[in-house]
Amino acid sequence: MEKVRIHFTKRVFDILVSLMLIVLLLPVIIAICFIMLAEGIFIPASRGKIIYAETRVSEGRPFKIYKFRIYKRSILKKIEEKGELIHTKKLEQERDNLTHIGRILKKVYMDELPQLVNILKGDMSLVGPRPTNPENYRELIARNCYSKQLIRAGLTGYFQSHKGLKIYKGQEELDMEYIDFVKNNPGWKVVLYDIKIIFITILTILRAEGI
C-alpha cells in the first residue's frame, strides 16, 4: 500500500507548534527532571536515566522514541537483560512497576513530552496513529492493519484524544479514517483538523484520563 505524503503545511505546523510547546513547557520539563532526581535520592529503586528510548515504528520504519522514564530501574534492567521489547501497556498495569512521579506523569500524559524532539526530528507528527513496537507492528500487518505503515506516527490521534468518551469504532478504523482525510484534503484543512484533535486531547489530559 502506498504511503501518504505529509503535506508541507502539516510539517511546518508540526515544527512551529513543537518549538512553541518546548519553550512554553520548559519550566515544567525542568521541574519534572528535578523531581525525578529528588525521588531517586530518597528512593533508590526510582534511580536511573531521566529520559530513555524505546524502539517504535513510524511510517513502517523503526526509530527511537523518547520518553520520561516512569518505570523503576530494576524493571527496565530485567527487560534489557532478557533482550525483550518494552510493552508499555502491560508494564503500566502493575502500579509497582512505576516510580511515584511516573504514576503521576502517566496519568496526565507528561511522560510523552520528550517526543516533541521526535517531532522536530521528523520521526513523528503532532497528530497521527500512535507508534507501536516492532513486534506489535508485525502482528498488525499480519492482520492487514496498515495504519502504522502508511503515515507518520503521531503524539496523539483521534482515538487517543477521545479516551474516556463514547466512541463506537476501533482504533485501526479511526486511524484509517484519519489517513484518508490527510490523503484527500489540502494541507490547510489537515492542519485545522489536527488543531481540533489537539484541543480535544488537551481536554482529555485535563480530565487526567491518560492517553
pLDDT at position 159 is 84
**pLDDT for the residue 211:** 47
In angstroms, the CA 178 to CA 147 distance is: 9
**Digit-coded pLDDT (tens) for 32-41:** 999 999 999 9
Q: Which of 159, 146, 164 is nearest to 204 (CA)?
A: 164
C-alpha cell at 78: 530485567
Sign of CA dihedral 77, 62, 160, 142: negative
> Which cell numbers in the block locate residue 38?
529528588
Q: What is the pLDDT of residue 19?
A: 97
What are 82-127's pLDDT values in tens digits?
Answer: 777 777 777 887 888 999 999 999 888 899 999 999 999 999 999 9
- Whole-number pLDDT of residue 166: 59
The grid coordinates listed for 178 are: 484519519
Which ranges of the chain have pLDDT less than 70?
Answer: 163-168, 208-211
pLDDT at 130: 94
pTM, two decimals, is 0.89
